[in-house]
């Protein structure tokens, strides 16, 4: 388990000066996909700031313990064996076994050519890689 109950007392003491917190906050609480409270707040945030085309519900959100875990869930849900997922370079090399070991998908690296991987122009690099 990724839960460390040994440090809870120290953490609670350290953050006691902020809004009230209980030991329950530091556990899996009401589920391994994130607490209902957290997912509700995230849903409201996404609706307000990202102007979702459909109202985001807490049930639409799953909180993971890191990017690798989130990607593995995505690969598992969307990919079949030998499917490929495009990923821009540089990336965390641990993503390769995340895709390949259990799901048996492949990562195909996309060179950004100096572009910011979050700008719209990067789409051309993905298109070149696909072709």
Q: What is the pLDDT of residues 7-32, one digit of tens each?
A: 888 877 877 777 666 666 666 667 77
CA 112 to CA 120: how far, in whole Å? 12
CA 99 to CA 84: how far, in whole Å? 9
Note the pLDDT tens digit of each residue in 92-107: 888 999 999 999 999 9
**Residue 101 exposure: Cα atoms within 13 Å on the Cβ side:** 8
Q: With 70 as the cut, is the pLDDT of residue 65 above it?
A: yes
Q: Where are the domains of the chain?
A: 65-131
Ramachandran angles phi, psi of 50, nearest 5°? -110, 0
Q: What is the pLDDT of residue 79?
A: 93
Of the candidates 48, 83, 45, 42, which has an alpha carbon nearest to the alpha carbon of residue 62?
A: 42
DSSP 131: -
DSSP 118: T
Q: What percent of the chain has pLDDT over 90?
A: 49
Global pTM value: 0.61
């Amino acid at each position: 388990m990724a839960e460390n109950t040994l440090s809870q007392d120290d953490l609670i003491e350290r953050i006691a000066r902020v809004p009230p917190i209980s030991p329950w906050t530091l556990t899996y609480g009401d589920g391994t996909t994130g607490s209902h409270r957290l997912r509700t707040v995230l849903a409201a945030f996404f609706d307000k700031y990202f102007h979702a085309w459909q109202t985001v519900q807490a049930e639409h959100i799953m909180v993971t313990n890191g990017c690798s875990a989130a990607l593995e869930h995505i690969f598992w849900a969307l990919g079949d064996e030998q499917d490929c997922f495009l990923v821009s370079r540089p990336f965390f090399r641990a993503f390769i076994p995340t895709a390949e070991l259990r799901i048996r998908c492949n990562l195909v690296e996309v060179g950004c050519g100096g572009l910011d991987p979050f700008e719209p122009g990067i789409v051309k690099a993905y298109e070149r890689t696909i072709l």
